[in-house]
Chains A and B, each alone.
Chain A
C-alpha cells in the first residue's frame, strides 16, 4: 500500500508519545500555568537552504535558529531581552521616544531589564516554551553601545542555560572593538544593519554618529560607519561567526544601492541578507515618517529581493519584531513574561524535558521534509513561463490550517514550473481586524495586502468574503484545508496551467500590493479615525 505524504507525516508524528501541541499542553498542566495550545500560531519562513545545501558545520549552527533558517522558524522560537537601551547613532527611521506595548517593530519595548532580570526571564521562557532555542539582544538601542549589560547577560545565561544559542544585532559602529568578546561567549550569530556602503547615500539615512567622544554628521559620519561595519563583518567572518545583514529598503534613497550593499557584504562572507521594507508612518514620529518618506510596495520589495537572490541567501520571513519579542516569529508572547510575572514564577530549568520536546519537533520536521520531497513530481513534464502568487492562511506546521477571518497575516508563495512553490514573504493584515473597524474595512485591508495574488488558500471561509475576493480577482480556496501548503499549492498550479492550456482560464498578470507596517498603538489609530 502506498501511503500519502500526509499519512506518512501523521504516522511519524504519532509514532512517539504524542504531537508537539499535546506535549506542550501536558507540560503546561504540569507546571500549573496556562498555555495557548495554538503555540504555532502565525508561523512563517530565513534562508531556504536546507541540510543538503550547506556545509555540515554551518547547518549545525543554523538548523534550530528561526531567524537564520526559513524551515526552522516553523518549529523553533526565539526571544529578545531588552537590556540595551543606549544607542550611539541616530537613524532617520527610528524614534527613540517610542515605548509602547501595542507596537510591533524594531526598537520598541515595554520594559527594560537588568542583566539579572533578563537571565531570570530567559529561564522562565525556556521552561515554558521548550522550543525556544535562541536568545537575542537587539536593543532597544544598540547592544554594543551597552557592552557591559549585553555581555553580563550572555555570561549569566551561558552558565544557567548553556543549550541556548546566543545572538545579537548591531549597527556595527563599535563591532570591531567587541569581536573578541563575542567569540569568547560563543555568540554564533551576529546581525549587522547595513543600509549603505556609499557615504553619500548614508548621509541621507544617518543624521549623526557618536564615535570616540565626538559627534560626526553627514558624509563623514556615514563614512566612519560603513568602514567600521565592513571591518567588523570581516573580523566575524575570519572567526567563523555567522553574520546576517539587515537592510532597510528606502525607496528613492537606497533601493537601487542595496544591490551594491548585497555584493559588498557577500564578498566579506555574510551568510544571509535580509532586506526589509521601511516602516514609516507620521504617528511614529520618525524623521522619515514626518517627511512623508514612503516605504516600498510589496512588488518593489520582491523585485529587489529577487535580484539579490542569485548572489546569496535572502531572508524572506523577517517579521521586524520588537526588541523584547518572545515566541515563534510572527507571534509575540512577551505579555506572558513581564518582570512582575517572572519574579513570581518558580522556575525549574529542566534540560531533559527541553531535549525530549525538541526531539519530537525533529520528528515533525522530518515528516514535513519527507512530504516536500515528492511535491515537485506533481509538476513533472510541465514547462511554462507563467508565475503566479498565492496567499496562505496558516497557524504553522506547514499546513493550510487557519480560517480566513482569523488570519493576522498571510504567507505568500510564488508558483512556477521551475521552482514549484517558493516562499517569498508574508503580509500582515492584523490591525484592522480589531478595535472599532467594521467587517468591510477588514476585508478591504486584506484585499489591498494580497491583491497581487491569484488565490488565497484557507482552512475555511464564509460565502460573503469569498464573493468579494472573487470580485477582486482572488480565488478563495478551501478544498485543501489542513493539507501541506506546498503540495496543495502545486496541485492548484498544475490545474491552473491545464486551464490556461485548454482555454478555460485566461492568465492575467496581477498588480501590486501594500505592505502593512507593524501595529500602531490603538489610541493613535482611534485618533486617526476620529479625525477622518
Chain B
C-alpha cells in the first residue's frame, strides 16, 4: 500500500512538497516515505506525485512488500 524511495535518490526534496499525505520526509541522506501514510495518491491524483516529479527514473517505486492500497 505504498511507494518507497530507492538509494538512487539525489535528495532534491521535490517529492516532499508534492505528497498529498505528508508521508515524505528527509531521511539519512535520502528522502523516505512513511508506508502508513502513503496512499499511492489514490483519492487525490491519477498517478503517484512523487514518482512523477522525481528527476531520477525508477527511484520512487511501488514497495512490493506491502499489499496495494485500496481506496476506502
Complexed CA–CA distance, A85 and B45 (Å):
24
With contacts A213-B45, A214-B46 taken as known, whether A86 is within 8 angstroms of B12 at the C-beta atoms is: yes
The answer on a CB contact under 8 Å between B14 and A141 is: yes
Chain B 26-47, CB-CB to A under 8 Å as 1, else 0, gives 0000000000000000000111
Write the chain A residue with the least CB distance to B41: A213
Which chain B positions have C-beta within 8 A of A85?
A: 11-14
Cβ-defined contact, A88 with B14, below 8 A:
yes
Instruction: Assess the B52–A210 pair: CB atoms within 8 A.
Output: yes
Question: How far is it, in angstroms, between the C-alpha of A43 and the C-alpha of B52 when the chains are bound?
Answer: 42
A193 at the interface (CB under 8 A from B): no
CB-contacts of B41-62 with A (<8 A): 45-47, 49, 52-53, 55-56
**Chain B 1-41: CB-based contact to A (< 8 A → 1; otherwise 0):** 00000000011111011100000000000000000000000
Q: Is the CB of A97 within 8 A of B45?
A: no
- Complex Cα distance, B51 from A89, in Å, reads 13
CA A215 – CA B55 in complex, angstroms? Answer: 11
Residues of B within 8 A of A141 (CB): 12, 14
Chain B at the A interface: mostly helix, strand, loop or mixed? loop
Closest to A213 in B: B45
Pick from A96, A145, A146: contact of B10, CB under 8 Å: A96
Q: With A86-B17, A213-B45, A214-B46 given, is the CB distance from A97 to B53 under 8 Å?
A: no
Q: How far is the CB of A85 from chain B (nearest CB, A)?
A: 4
User: A23 in the interface, Cβ–Cβ < 8 Å?
Assistant: no
CA distance A85 to B53 in the complex (A): 13
Q: Is there a chain B Cβ closer than 8 Å to A491's Cβ?
A: no
Q: How many residues of B contact A (CB 8 A)?
A: 16
Bound form: Cα–Cα A214–B55 in Å: 14
Contacts of B53 in A (CB 8 A): 86, 88, 210, 215
**Chain B residue contacts of A97, Cβ below 8 A:** 10, 56
Using a Cβ–Cβ cut-off of 8 Å, how many residues does chain A contribute to the interface with B?
17
Cβ contacts under 8 Å, A87 to chain B: 12, 14, 55
B13 lies within 8 A of A86 (CB): yes
- Name the distance in Å between B22's Cβ and chain A's nearest Cβ: 14
Contact A90 B55 (CB under 8 A): yes
Residues of B within 8 A of A112 (CB): 11
Are B10 and A86 in touch, CB under 8 angstroms?
Answer: no
Q: How far is the CB of B16 from chain A (nearest CB, A)?
A: 8
If A213-B45, A213-B49, A214-B46 touch, whether A145 touches B56 (CB-CB below 8 Å) is no
A145 to B54, CA, bound (A): 13
Closest to A88 in B: B53
Give residues 220-237 of A contacting B (CB, 8 Å).
none
Kindly list chain A residues whose C-beta atoms are within 8 Å of the C-beta of B49. Answer: 213
- Chain A residues lying within 8 Å of B14, measured Cβ to Cβ, are 85-88, 141, 145, 210
- Shortest Cβ distance from A114 into chain B, in angstroms? 11
A212: nearest residue on chain B (CB-CB)? B45
A215 near B52 (CB under 8 angstroms)? yes
Q: Which residue of A lies closest to B44 (CB)?
A: A213
Q: Most chain-B CB neighbours within 10 Å: which of A141, A148, A213? A: A213
1/0 contact trace for A59-101 toward B, CB 8 Å? 0000000000000000000000000011110100000110100
Chain B residues with Cβ under 8 A from A90's Cβ? 55
Cα A214 to Cα B12 with chains together (Å)? 19
CB-CB nearest in chain B for A148 = B17
What residues of A have a CB within 8 angstroms of the CB of B16 in the complex? 86
**Chain B residues with CB below 8 A from A210, complex form:** 14, 18, 52-53
Cα-based distance from A213 to B16 in the complex (angstroms): 13
Per-residue contact bits, chain A 139-151, to B (CB 8 Å; 1 contact, 0 not) = 0010001101000
B36 to chain A, nearest CB (A): 23
Q: With A85-B13, A87-B12, A141-B14 known to touch, is A96 a contact of B55 (CB < 8 Å)? A: yes
Please measure, in the bound complex, the distance between the C-alpha atom of A145 and the C-alpha atom of B16, giving whole angstroms: 12
Q: Nearest chain B CB to A168's CB is how many angstroms away?
A: 17
Task: Give the residue among B11, B13, B45 with the most A Cβ atoms within 10 A.
Answer: B13
**Cα of A86 to Cα of B14 in the assembled complex, Å:** 4
Residue of A nearest to B49 (CB): A213
Bound state CA distance, A245 and B10, in angstroms?
A: 28
* Cβ distance B68 to chain A, nearest Cβ, rounded Å: 21
- Which A residues are CB-close (under 8 A) to B52? 210, 213-215
- The 10 A-B pairs at the shortest CB distance, nearest first, are namely A86-B14, A96-B55, A215-B52, A85-B12, A210-B53, A213-B45, A86-B13, A85-B13, A86-B12, A96-B10
What are 20 A-B contacts defined by CB distance under 8 Å? A86-B13, A87-B12, A87-B14, A88-B53, A90-B55, A96-B10, A96-B55, A96-B56, A97-B10, A97-B56, A141-B14, A145-B14, A146-B17, A148-B17, A210-B14, A210-B52, A210-B53, A213-B46, A213-B49, A213-B52
B residues in contact (CB < 8 Å) with A: 10-14, 16-18, 45-47, 49, 52-53, 55-56
Contacts A146-B13, A213-B45 supplied; 18 other A-B pairs, CB < 8 Å: A85-B12, A85-B13, A86-B12, A86-B13, A86-B16, A86-B53, A87-B14, A88-B53, A96-B12, A97-B56, A141-B12, A210-B18, A210-B52, A213-B18, A213-B49, A214-B46, A214-B52, A215-B53
